[in-house]
């Protein structure tokens, strides 16, 4: 996913003055339909060396499935976690309130890995109609205790996770919008136990993906991708749609 050729966005829009405060837009080939716009938040353990480039295949795949997609970049500054969340919230607001050429209104937020953490936090916003977290770092306290990716959580926060419960999804109430976590059972970068802990503590449904690793959930060529799209369609249809009332399988 870090090296594969990816589709180019139709346009890129700024939502702030920093070069990293931008949104790449991807439109379905047939143009916007009835599906809501997706704001896609990339991962990379919040580190500056990992930008949105590796998520462009997923953005293109979402657009190919009919979802207008905004791939959000954000400033990645170690030890300044509030900046990251502020940027993601600003990107969501920009799309929802019509500041881009993508359809506005309440959006779906999809986040992968560290982006899944940011998506779960952003899902508290009234601009978000639904959230799909893919292999998220959803319990910062557990991830910190496990020293995931050479203490990425502590590098991100600039302190132990216990000092910032306000930025830990597992220490917060479940988002007010329909929310679902998908996580592969063979994920070695973010163990599924992290999502299991989050699901147990918040009641947010978790759908385990048997035999799936960390990157398959953002790979349109993987066997897991149709499951991602299926659940995103359910979220987009709202909680009253068939299958919209999810139950945890943790």
Distances, alpha carbon 205 to alpha carbons 23, 71, 104, 191, 211, in Å: 29, 25, 27, 17, 19
Mark out the alpha helices in the chain (DSSP H runs): 56-64, 81-96, 114-122, 140-145, 148-157, 192-202, 225-237
> Which two structure tokens, joined as six digits, stand for 94?
């920009």
Instruction: Report the chain's terminal Cα–Cα distance, integer Å.
Output: 27
CATH class of 11-237: alpha beta
Domain spans of the chain? Answer: 11-237
Per-residue pLDDT tens digits of the chain, which is 250 residues long: 667 778 899 999 999 999 999 999 999 988 778 899 999 999 999 999 999 999 999 999 999 999 999 999 999 999 999 999 999 999 999 999 999 999 999 999 999 999 999 999 999 999 999 999 999 999 999 999 999 999 999 999 999 999 999 999 999 999 999 999 999 999 999 999 999 999 999 999 999 999 999 999 999 999 999 999 999 999 988 643 333 444 344 4
Contact 84, 117 (CB under 8 A): no
Give the global pTM: 0.94
For residues 168 and 117, what is the distance between their CA atoms, to the nearest angstrom? 8
Contact 92, 248 (CB under 8 A): no
For residues 61 and 81, what is the distance between their CA atoms, to the nearest angstrom? 29
């Amino acid at each position: 996913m870090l090296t594969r050729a990816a589709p180019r966005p139709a346009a890129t829009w700024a939502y702030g003055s920093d070069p990293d405060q931008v949104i790449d837009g991807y439109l379905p080939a047939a143009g916007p339909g009835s599906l809501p716009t997706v704001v896609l938040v990339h991962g990379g353990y919040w580190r500056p060396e990992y930008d949105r480039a590796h998520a462009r295949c997923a953005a293109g795949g979402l657009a190919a499935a009919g979802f207008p997609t905004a791939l959000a970049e954000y400033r990645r500054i170690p030890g300044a976690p509030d900046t990251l969340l502020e940027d993601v919230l600003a990107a969501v607001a920009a799309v929802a309130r019509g500041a881009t050429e993508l359809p506005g209104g309440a959006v779906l937020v999809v986040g992968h890995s560290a982006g899944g953490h940011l998506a779960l936090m952003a899902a508290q916003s009234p601009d978000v109609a639904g959230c799909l977290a893919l292999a998220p770092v959803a319990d910062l306290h557990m991830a910190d205790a496990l020293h995931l990716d050479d203490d990425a959580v502590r590098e991100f926060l600039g302190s132990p996770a216990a000092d910032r419960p306000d930025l830990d999804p597992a220490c917060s109430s479940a988002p007010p919008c329909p929310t679902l976590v998908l996580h592969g059972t063979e994920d070695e970068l973010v163990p599924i136990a992290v999502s299991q802990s989050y699901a147990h503590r918040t009641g947010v449904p978790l759908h385990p993906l048997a035999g799936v690793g960390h990157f398959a959930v953002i790979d349109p060529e993987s066997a897991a991708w149709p499951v991602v799209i299926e659940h995103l369609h359910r979220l987009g249809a709202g909680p009253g749609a068939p299958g919209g009332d999810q139950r945890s399988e943790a």
